[in-house]
């Protein structure tokens, strides 16, 4: 199938628009020592509109080096969906709520997805 110049421009424009909707949305990884702590942090982030949605994933087994020793712990993972511009405030809030000295707050950019869902994240995580 061959596309006309107008069809190529229209297709490329639609793809660019879809990709740009994803800009500004991040998924933030946060680990917590247990489900109760994770739920408390997740509920607070959503209630304070620092996140649109937080999923709590149980059953993590983490291996890491801390103070020169290899550690192994059972943890839960929070998948936090928010706007990139909310990241500094979200990170500070996690730090204040979290029992760890150095909580994991690792943001991964959303590079695509459902346009309606990405728009919803932007709206729900707005101040």
What pLDDT score does 23 carry? Answer: 75
Overall average pLDDT of the 111-123 stretch = 94
Overall average pLDDT of the 88-116 stretch = 96
Question: In the block, which residue shows the tokens 């707050």?
Answer: 105
110 vs 12, which has greater pLDDT?
Answer: 110
pLDDT tops 50 at residue 15 = no
> 68-100: string of b/e by CB count within 10 Å (b at 16+)?
eeeeeeebbbbbbbbbbebbeebbebbeebbee
pLDDT digits (tens, 9 = 90+) for 21-58: 457 999 999 999 999 999 999 999 999 999 999 999 99
pLDDT tops 50 at residue 17 = no
pLDDT tops 50 at residue 18 = no
What pLDDT score does 3 carry? Answer: 46
> What percent of the chain is modeled with pLDDT above 70?
83
Overall average pLDDT of the 76-98 stretch = 98
pLDDT tops 50 at residue 19 = no
Question: In the block, which residue shows the tokens 């590079």?
Answer: 111
Positive or negative, the Cα torsion across 37, 89, 52, 16? negative
> What percent of the chain is modeled with pLDDT above 90?
81
Q: Which two tokens stand for residue 35?
A: 């489900």
Question: What crossing angle do the helices spanning 5-22 and 115-124 adopt, rounded to 10°?
Answer: 30
CA 94/CA 87 separation, integer angstroms: 10
Domains, the chain, with CATH or none: 25-124 (3.30.70.120)
């Amino acid at each position: 199938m061959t596309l006309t110049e107008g069809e190529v421009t229209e297709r490329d424009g639609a793809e660019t628009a879809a990709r740009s909707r994803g800009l500004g949305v991040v998924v933030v990884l946060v680990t917590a020592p247990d489900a109760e702590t994770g739920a408390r942090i997740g509920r607070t982030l959503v209630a304070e509109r620092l996140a649109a949605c937080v999923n709590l994933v149980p059953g993590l087994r983490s291996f890491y080096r801390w103070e020169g020793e290899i550690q192994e712990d059972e943890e839960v993972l929070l998948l936090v969906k928010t706007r990139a511009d909310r990241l500094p405030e979200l990170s500070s809030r996690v730090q204040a709520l979290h029992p760890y000295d150095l909580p994991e707050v690792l943001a991964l950019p959303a590079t695509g997805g459902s346009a309606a869902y990405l728009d919803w994240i932007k709206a729900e995580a707005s101040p």
